[in-house]
Chains A and B, each alone.
Chain A
Amino acid sequence: MLEIRDLNVEVEGKEILHDINLTIGTGETHALFGPNGGGKTTLLMAIMGFPRYRVIKGQIIFNGKDITKSSLDERARLGIGMSFQRPPVVRGVKTRDMVAACVESRGPKDDSAIDELAKRLNMGELMDREINYGFSGGEIKRSELLQLLAQEPELVLLDEPESGVDLVNMSLIGEMINELLQKDLKRRRTRSCLIITHTGHILDYVHASKGYVLLDGTIPCERAALEVLDSIKENGYEGCVKCLCQTD
C-alpha cells in the first residue's frame, strides 16, 4: 500500500530525513520508535504531504501511484489520514465541524452515526467545543481518532496516539484504533497503519507486525515490532540499532 524509496526530507532548509526506505503492505500495521527529535513526526508529515516538509529526493508511492508531488488535500482524498501529535487550535471551528469535514471529503454519511460514534467514544461534550481549544491531552487524542474514524482513510498515520492518555482511556483508544483498522475483519483487513509510539503500550491493544527505529534521520533496519521494543528497553535506541541491525 505504501512504499517509500530513498526519501530525503528537509524542514526550513535543514535536512532531517536521509534515505528512508519503508514498505507497508495492505492490512499491515507497523510501529515506529525512536528518540525525541529523531524525525518520526517529520516522516509522517512528509507522507501526509505538508508543504513545509519538503521532499528533496526519493519517492512516496501509495497504492501504486507516485504521490510525491501530490498536495496535502489530494493525499487526504486519496485515502491517507493522520492523527496529530500536537494539532492546532482553530477558534470558532467546532469538533463537530471538523468531523463533518472528514465525512464530507469522502461522500455523505448521516449525522446520527457521527453522534452515535461520539457518544461511544465519550466525546459527546467535546462535539460543540472549538476544536482543540482547552482540550486536555487525552481529549486531543480521542478527538483526533474520532476524526479519523469519520474520514476512514486506507492508510492511517498515528503520531503517539497514546501519550498522555490515562489507563482507562487507554483501552478506549486501543479499541478505537482497532476499529479504525478493521480488527474484526481479521485477515481480510485492507487498512494499513504506521504508528509512532514511545512506550509501546498501545501495542498491547493493537497488533503491529514490523517495527523500526528512526535514529538521526535514518532507519537502519526493520524487525518484528515487539522484538524492537524489547531491544530498546534493554539496550537503548543506539544499542538496539547496533544489536539488531548488525545481525543482518
Chain B
Amino acid sequence: MSMPDRLTATKKRKELAEKALDKKAALGADIDVAAYSSSVDERPYQEKPEQINREEKEQMLGVGVTLDDLSQRGGTFVQMDNSVVHSSSSQDGVEVMGISQAQEKYDWLEDYWWRAVSVDADKFTAHVELEQNNGYFIRTLPGVKTVYPVQSCLYLAHSNLAQKVHNIIIAEEDSELHIITGCATHPMQASGLHLGVSEFYIKRGARVTFTMIHNWAPEIAVRPRSAAIIEENGIFLSNFVCMKPVRTLQMYPAANCIGNNSVVRFSSVLVAPPGSHLDIGSRVLLNGKGSRAEIISRAITTGGDIIARGYIAGSAPDVKGHLECRGLILSEEQGGIIHAIPELKGELAGVDLSHEAAVGKIAEEEVEYLMARGLTRDEATAAIVRGFLQVDIEGLPPQLATELKQAVETSEKELF
C-alpha cells in the first residue's frame, strides 16, 4: 500500500470504529466500557525486568512469565497497565517490541491492522481502535526458528482501569515461533476491564505455538478478540488455560486456514469457580485444500458457568476437522453449568468433520476403580481430574510443555 492509500485506510478504519462504539457484542454479557477509567500513571521502563517488584513478578510467574532469569527466553515483553515496562529480544531475527514502537518502525504494519479481526466487530474492537494503549508486536523473520520461547505479559495493576491493547504476531515464511503469554492482575486488584485484540499472521510454511495463561481476579471483565490467518503449509497451535476466578470472560478466537494443507489446533483448559462466567470457544474456517483443524476443550465447573463453543466450517476439498469438548461438573450444591455448543458446517462433499462432546460428573465407577488400588476417595477424584485436565501439549518445545503442565497442576491443587 502506498502512503496516501494508507492514510485513507486509517481514516476509514476510524470512521468504522466510531460507528461501532455502541455495538453490542454477539456473545457475552454487555459491558459499559465508559464505567472504567482510561487514564493511569505511566510505569517506568525497566532495562532489567528483574527490577520489577517481587510481588508483581510472583504474579507474572504464575502465568509462565519469568523475569529473574531470561536465559531460557527468546524475547520478553511486559506491559503493566498502559505502559510498556520492558521489551527485548535475545535472538537475531526475532523481533519483540511495543506495538506503538513497531508502528513507528514499520510503515507496512498498517497493512496488517485489522486484517484478521474486523475493526467494527463490536464495541470492544472499536474501543481498542480508538483508545488503544499499546500491546505487543512479535515477529520472526523468514526461516528463523526461535530457540527459546518468546514471553509476553499483560498486567493489570490499577484498579478500575480499562486496558485496551492491540497485538500483532507475524511469523514470516518458514519461520518457527513459540510464544508464551500471560495475563495477570495485581494481588487485591478490585475491578478492571481487559480488551485485547490479537492478530496472527502465519505465512507459508511457518509454525506458531501460542500458549496463553490467564490469571484474573473475581471482579475482572475480559473481552479478547483474536484471529489468525494461516497460509499454505502453515501451522498454528494455540493453548489456552484459564483456571482462576474471573467475573466474565468471553472470547471466540478464529483461525482462517486460507492456505492449502494448513493446520490449526486449539486446546483450552477452563475452570469456573463460583461467580465466574466463561463463554469461550474456538472457530476454524477450513478454506484451503487439505487443511486440518482440531479443537479440544476441557471444562470444569466448581460452581461457575461455562459455555464451551466450537465451530469448524469446511469449504475446500479434502479438509478434515475434529472438535472435542468434555465438561466435568464438580459442584454438588452450589450450582454450576457447562453448556457445550459444538458446531460443524460442511459446504462440500469430501469434507470430513466430526465432533464429540460429553458433560457430566465424575463416574463413580472410575473413582472406585482407583480406590480399589488403595487411593482415598479424594485422592482418586484428584487423579481423575488431573487426567481430565491433561492438555494435549504435543508440538510444544519440551520445556514449555513442562511449564504449562506445572501451571495447570498448580491451579488444580486449589480445586480441592
Contact = CB atoms under 8 A, between A and B. Distances in A.
Interface of A: 48, 50-51, 71-73, 76-77, 81-82, 84, 87-88, 90-94, 97-98, 101-102, 104-106, 130, 147, 151
A50 B368 contact: yes
B370 A104 contact: no
Contacts of A48: 372
B95 to A, nearest CB: 38
B383 interface: yes
A114 to B, nearest CB: 14
Contacts of B384: 90, 92-93
Contacts of A50: 368, 372
A76 B368 contact: no
B363 A88 contact: yes
Given A72-B368, A88-B365, A90-B366, A97 B373 contact: no
Interface string B353-379: 000000000010110111111111101
B51 to A, nearest CB: 41
B372 A77 contact: no
B300 to A, nearest CB: 12
Contacts of B374: 73, 76-77, 101-102, 104-106, 151
B387 interface: yes
A72 B383 contact: no
B373 A101 contact: yes
Smallest CB-CB A-B distances: 9 pairs: A105-B374, A92-B387, A93-B387, A76-B374, A73-B371, A92-B390, A88-B365, A102-B373, A72-B371
Nearest to B389: A92
A94 B386 CA distance: 11
A190 to B, nearest CB: 19
A128 to B, nearest CB: 11
20 contacts: A48-B372, A50-B368, A71-B371, A72-B368, A73-B372, A73-B377, A76-B371, A76-B372, A77-B374, A81-B373, A88-B363, A90-B366, A90-B370, A93-B370, A97-B383, A102-B374, A105-B373, A105-B374, A105-B375, A151-B374
Given A73-B375, A88-B363, A88-B365, A101 B386 contact: no
B388 interface: yes
B258 to A, nearest CB: 34
A92 B369 CA distance: 14
A93 B368 contact: no
A76 B373 contact: yes
A88 B371 contact: no
A91 B386 CA distance: 10
Given A73-B377, A91-B387, A98 B372 contact: no
Nearest to B376: A73
Contact of B388 (A92, A102, A104, A105): A92
Nearest to A130: B387
A72 B388 contact: no
A213 B388 CA distance: 41
Nearest to A148: B373
A92 B385 CA distance: 8
Contacts of A73: 371-372, 374-377, 380
A133 to B, nearest CB: 11
A90 B373 contact: no
Interface centre among A72, A94, A151 (most CB of B within 10 A): A72
Contacts of A147: 373
Contact of B369 (A77, A81, A88, A151): A88
B308 to A, nearest CB: 16
A87 B383 contact: no
Contacts of B386: 92-93
A91 B388 contact: yes
Nearest to A94: B387
A3 to B, nearest CB: 21
A73 B384 CA distance: 16
Given A73-B371, A98-B370, 4 more contacts: A73-B372, A87-B369, A101-B373, A101-B374
A98 B372 CA distance: 11
Nearest to B369: A88
Contacts of B380: 73
A83 B386 CA distance: 24
A236 to B, nearest CB: 33
B318 to A, nearest CB: 27
A84 B388 contact: no
B373 A88 contact: no
A100 to B, nearest CB: 9
Contacts of A82: 372
Given A97-B387, A101-B383, A90 B369 contact: yes
B376 to A, nearest CB: 5
Interface centre among B366, B372, B375 (most CB of A within 10 A): B372
Contact of B373 (A51, A71, A98, A130): A98
Nearest to A98: B373
A124 to B, nearest CB: 20
Given A92-B388, A93-B384, A151 B366 contact: no
Contacts of B373: 76, 81, 98, 101-102, 105, 147, 151
Interface centre among B368, B369, B387 (most CB of A within 10 A): B369
Nearest to B387: A92
A77 B365 CA distance: 19
